[in-house]
Structure 1
Amino acid sequence: MNFASTTVAPSPTTTVLTVSQLNRNVRHLLETQLPALWLEGEVSNFARPGSGHWYLTLKDSQAQVRCAMFRGANQRVGFTPSNGQQVLVRCRAGLYEPRGEYQLVIEQMQEAGHGALQRQFEQLKQRLADEGLFASEHKRDMPEPIRRVGVITSPSGAAIHDILSVLGRRDPRIEVLIYPTAVQGESAPAAIIQAIETANWHGAADVLIVGRGGGSLEDLWAFNSEPLARALYASAIPTISAVGHESDFTIADFVADLRAPTPSAAAELISQDSAELVSYITALQRTLSSAMRRKLTTATTAVSYLRQRLRHPAQRLQQQAQRLDQLEQQLQRSQHRALQQRQQQLLQLYKRLQRVDPALRLQSLQSRLAQQQQRLNRAIAQQLKQQRNSLQRQLQLLDAVSPLKVLERGYAVVLANGAAVVDSGDVGAGDKLTIKLHRGQIAATVTDNS
């Protein structure tokens, strides 16, 4: 048995697409036919490559879808998502053509539910702190005494009843001014701001309590309003924030001048317990009485001491007169000593003046000059005498060795040609000689020189 194969071939007019063309057309249909939508789901498979784009999967209990959020869009998100986190996204459907995978392109992202509110709270808290709205130097002390307190809260809530109960029990003298307002819902922040402005306009309250009873984060969200925070900061009346329970914190708690953990605690902070006040006054009375007794005892002792020291005026005058005589004598002695010292100083100065008198000094110099002149004359005469004696000795010595003295004793000097003849061999026969005697000279001729 033969089976014929049936094959259908495209006709010449049939359009044949490539895979790329198919994916492109599908992407175009998804992007044009399916508008932008909001989607809530759990993050999984979160990836953040070096390009800065985000890739993740959004899922619920029954399905999942791949998503991409490009860098230009994710830079506007105030947090980085993590696996398991619930998020709310605004996205468009699309197709990743290279793999033919259906995906969502996310344009906006925010935390879903309580997480989103908590992040808004932290962001506003940080921004207002940076502006200085929480700074301690802007916090004002509570006035003393407090006579009137303004309460801004719901007139039917538990907070107003707790405040009135505590004040009535502790300090009934405090007057309470109630500024009723909504404390929950979208209109609550504006209503609370209006109540704060009204209380400031009246100016009757010494302090304002702004608060409500406990609740969820959403219930207390009105007190996380930025305009309300700025209204509290601008209030001319000191403010106390009393919102929720002790574990609840709102932006109003950080801006107000004082935070009370509960409305009841706020009432306790501004009031004094009557019993404690009575006890305090009694203790003050005992302290005052004791102080007065000590003061009286001290004054009595002082009066007794002064009475013992008190003397009759006449006796005191005699003592003063005697003291005056002593002082007069001391003054005279002091003046006498001072006069002697002055005279001694004057005498010393006179002697010093005499020593430097020009006339006396000139006379002394002239006397010294005469003495020096005499000494000089004596020295010159002595020197001349010594020189004469020395010259005389030299003359005598010269005279003793003089040739003339030898000639006086009969000796003669024989000269030949003007030179003395000391050797007979120096002359010959016929030489002319001159014989010099003591008186005169003789000419002779040598006949023999043997």
Structure 2
Amino acid sequence: MEIKIYSVTELTSELKNLIEEKYPLVWVFGQISNLSTPFSGHFYFTLKDESARINAIIFKGQRKNLKFTPENGMSVIGFGRLGLYETKGSYQVIFEYLEPKGIGSLQIAYEQLKAKLSSEGLFDSKYKKKLPFLPENICIITSPTGSVLYDIINIISRRYPSVNLKIIPVSVQGIFSENEIVSAIKLLNKYCCSDVAIIARGGGSLEELHAFNSESVARAIFESKIPIISAIGHETDYTISDFVSDYRAPTPSAAAEIVVPLKNDLLIKNQKLYLSLKSGMEKILNNHRNNLNKISKRIKDPKSKLYDLILKNDDLTKRLVRSEINYINQLKERTVWKIDKLNNNNPLRYILIYNDKVKIIVTNLYKSINIKLNNSKNKLNEFSAKLSVLNPKGILKRGYSIARTIPGKNIITDSNNVEIAQQIEVIVNEGSLICRVERKIYGKDNI
């Protein structure tokens, strides 16, 4: 019996094929150790448990799909393919997917980013900007279709109808939401169109609130020159945006109550101040009158001049009171004018305009998708035609055949690879033939 002697390369190659064919994809869990990231950008680490360990790798292309940053000592679970690195003769797991074991990847990413930004000082109170007491212009960054927007508008309009509201519509969840929110904050600061801004959305899961837990949104809020109120989710929901914003409101409705005071309260306070001022001025005038009377009693002559001064004092008093009344009337007229201006700039008109624009964008999107699908179908037909030309069965149909050794089934391309009297298998278009080699003809010109 002939003994086959393998070279190291041959043996390693066969083991590589055996491992990769036996385990094309496997799920595996363990603990990360010896984590390293060279300049190539790949993750190299050892995955271990109580009794064994195995080398593992996450290539740079798959790394960008991770929702967390792997760390030494972290327990993970994932699936990948087994491979054998022939140069070192060691096998490894090449992961296609990886997530923390026992806790979600989004929660891990949330905690890691929170710790990172906190260490950089983005949450420090010394960087928080003070909210204006009575803003003239308020910007709302939220979804244009959600109930959150209408709740904020209704509450602000009820509390202080004279304020100007501006809306920057964005997606509050999904793959485009993060970039849209960042763009909205940059747009807000570029045109300085508001005294304060509210970023708001309703409650949701950690995955639905992902945009407000992203680093880019957090840094955009921190770099904003305009104060920003974060009103994300319910009172128990805390996002990275809440920590970095200038003020965190427990709910969107609470943000609307925080950003402006009640106009009626201001009017009442103004009325109290007016009455207090009037009372104070009357006391001063009475004191002056009393002093004047005292002086008048002390002055015996000339009485006519004293009477003139008294008349002048009364005239000044009436003019002062009349001036205050005129000033209050002007304030009332200005308030009525601002209310009329707000009614003329009803946001519903702008919402209808934006709805038309959205419809046009959706129509163009459908057209682009159809064009893309047609191009893909044409390419598929082209590749199918090329594949049919290269199909070995097409060659067999034209009268050619394929010869293989028995039992190895190796394709015969050289007559030196077979022996006289050796059985071979000849594959034709329909079935195959078992033949025996009678003689060999050498040379390439024997066809």
The CA deviation at 1:296 is 4.2
* Residues 221/40 of structure 1: CA separation in 2 closer, same or farther (3 Å cut): farther
Amino acid at match of 1:254: F
* Residues 104/243 of structure 1: CA separation in 2 closer, same or farther (3 Å cut): same
The CA deviation at 1:79 is 5.9
1:39 aligns with 2:2: no
Check whether the contact 1:196–1:235 (CA below 8 A) recurs between aligned residues: yes
Check whether the contact 1:146–1:207 (CA below 8 A) recurs between aligned residues: yes
Of 71, 92, 96, 1:78 maps to: 71
* Residues 40/215 of structure 1: CA separation in 2 closer, same or farther (3 Å cut): farther
* Residues 117/291 of structure 1: CA separation in 2 closer, same or farther (3 Å cut): same
**Counterparts of 2:183 and 2:25, CA distance in 1:** 38
**Counterparts of 2:102 and 2:140, CA distance in 1:** 32
RMSD: 4.1
- Describe the superposition over 1:157-181 as per-residue Cα deviations: whole angstroms up to 9, x where unpaired: 1210110111111111111101111
Q: Which residue of 2 aligns with 1:331?
A: none
**Counterparts of 1:70 and 1:305, CA distance in 2:** 105
Q: Which residue of 2 aligns with 1:119?
A: 108
1:161 aligns with 2:146: no
Of 135, 146, 149, 2:135 maps to: 146
1:152 is paired with a residue whose SS is strand
1:175 aligns with 2:178: no
* Residues 47/126 of structure 1: CA separation in 2 closer, same or farther (3 Å cut): closer
**Counterparts of 2:224 and 2:13, CA distance in 1:** 63
Check whether the contact 1:30–1:94 (CA below 8 A) recurs between aligned residues: no
Check whether the contact 1:200–1:237 (CA below 8 A) recurs between aligned residues: yes
Q: After superposition, where does 1:317-328 map in structure 2 within 5 Å? A: none
Amino acid at match of 1:68: R
1:130 aligns with 2:116: no
Check whether the contact 2:57–2:94 (CA below 8 A) recurs between aligned residues: no
Of 211, 214, 233, 2:203 maps to: 214
The CA deviation at 1:249 is 1.2
* Residues 228/55 of structure 1: CA separation in 2 closer, same or farther (3 Å cut): same
1:78 is paired with a residue whose SS is coil
Check whether the contact 1:209–1:242 (CA below 8 A) recurs between aligned residues: yes
Check whether the contact 1:149–1:208 (CA below 8 A) recurs between aligned residues: yes
Q: Which residue of 2 aligns with 1:262?
A: 251
Q: Structure 1: any 5+ residue segments left out of the alignment?
A: 1-11, 17-22, 58-65, 96-102, 313-450
- Describe the superposition over 1:387-444 as per-residue Cα deviations: whole angstroms up to 9, x where unpaired: xxxxxxxxxxxxxxxxxxxxxxxxxxxxxxxxxxxxxxxxxxxxxxxxxxxxxxxxxx
Q: After superposition, where does 1:308-319 map in structure 2 within 5 Å? A: none
Amino acid at match of 2:27: L
**Counterparts of 1:37 and 1:309, CA distance in 2:** 113
Q: Which residue of 1 aligns with 2:53?
A: 68
Q: Which residue of 2 aligns with 1:201?
A: 190
The CA deviation at 1:92 is 5.0
2:203 is paired with a residue whose SS is coil
**Counterparts of 2:246 and 2:201, CA distance in 1:** 17
Check whether the contact 1:150–1:177 (CA below 8 A) recurs between aligned residues: yes
- Segment of structure 1 superposing worse, 174-183 or 275-284: 275-284
**Counterparts of 1:180 and 1:238, CA distance in 2:** 18
Q: Which residue of 2 aligns with 1:373?
A: none
Q: Which residue of 2 aligns with 1:55?
A: 48
* Residues 233/25 of structure 1: CA separation in 2 closer, same or farther (3 Å cut): closer
Q: Which residue of 1 aligns with 2:368?
A: none
**Counterparts of 1:166 and 1:34, CA distance in 2:** 65
* Residues 113/214 of structure 1: CA separation in 2 closer, same or farther (3 Å cut): farther
Aligned residues: 271
Larger Cα Rg: Structure 1 or Structure 2? 1
**Kindly, what percent of the aligned residue pairs are identical?**
36
The CA deviation at 1:259 is 1.2
**Counterparts of 1:298 and 1:31, CA distance in 2:** 106
1:225 aligns with 2:218: no
Q: Which residue of 1 aligns with 2:306?
A: none
1:172 is paired with a residue whose SS is coil
The CA deviation at 1:91 is 4.8
Of 157, 168, 174, 1:185 maps to: 174
